[in-house]
Amino acid sequence: MMALLLRRLPCSSPSLLGHTARRPLAPLHCRFSSTASEAGQSSSQSTGLLVSVSKSKDSTISVISLQRPEAKNAISSALLYDLSNAVESVRHDEQTRAVIVRSRVPRVFCAGADLKERAKMSESDARVFVSKLRASMTAIDRLPQPTIACIDGVALGGGLELALACDFRIASPSAVVGLPETSLAIIPGAGGTQRLPRLVGLQRAKFLILTAQRLKGSDALTWGMVDFVTGENDHWLVDPNDSSKGDQGASGAMTEFDAMFESERADEWPAVCAGIRLAKMISAQGPVAIRAAKRALNEGMQTDLETGMDVERGAYDQVLDTHDRIEALNAFREKRKPHFTGK
């Protein structure tokens, strides 16, 4: 049974979208309302779940949280089982329009595979485990909703592969990312050798994997491994419900977002706060259109242009016969915001 829960994440480099200097983050609270009650949180913690799912108050955003602090969120068989269940619960949630993947462990996103557990596995056991891990990353990649990895601190090996399986990656300046498997005489086995070169190019991927190189947040942005670094280019991520103007509305520390937990601070978890802004931007759009666009983009990039155009045509046909399309036209005519229902 999937418990509901939530919590946290922590800024400099040229941007993929253009560099703009930002003022330092102020220690304001990053707020995000959750359907989980305090009692529900305690219950979840007592069940021993290593991965939990929480939802925004309006149910449009789901948050998958890793919470294995004693092992820096290392991916054990138990954590992988919980992660797979969390992903499947989100997949079948028609209300969810965007998904955030985050850690609840300070200074760590995910340290990779649980090497202590791996050392006790036979060769056949290790093969089965990696096969399940690969399948879980593929399941995340194929979620119909857009996914956002919020990286605070370390994301290595399988931890980075988890982030690579998401549609967007947001990092704090203190984040450290890499695929160091070759230093352990193995290779990335959960999609790293395939997804990384598709992001950064073959030559950069070869360098990073063959040298087991690790990059800090700003360098990861420069190399194209992440899309946003807080304090660097996250001014593109603006809460659509924020009515403030100018600089402050875009910086991440200037806006309070609905009420996550009173202890959730933007200066401690800026990547999560930026991820919430991006999730809100996505969830404000037509949900059927968002899913159709993601499918057209992903499937189209795996084939030739002519076939890709056929994929787009099918996706467009899907959104034509929807109530949301009519609602958007009516809202435009009536000069109001549309109210999308996903139908």
Query: Known catalytic residues?
Result: 113, 158, 161, 181
What are the backbone dihedrals phi and psi of residue 69, each rounded to the nearest 5 degrees, phi first?
-60, -35
Nearest to 250 by CA among 260, 239, 258: 239
Output the 3-class SS for 55-114: EECCCCEEEEEECCHHHCCCECHHHHHHHHHHHHHHHCCCCCCEEEEEECCCCEEECCEC
Distance between CA atoms of 279 and 97, rounded to whole angstroms?
8
Cα 38 to Cα 5, 28, 34, 131, 144, distances in angstroms: 9, 22, 10, 37, 30
Report which secondary-structure segment, H or E, holds 223: helix 217-223
Give me the residue label for tokens 């959104």. Answer: 319
124 backbone dihedrals φ, ψ, rounded to 5°: -70, -40
Tokens 């992988």 belong to residue: 80
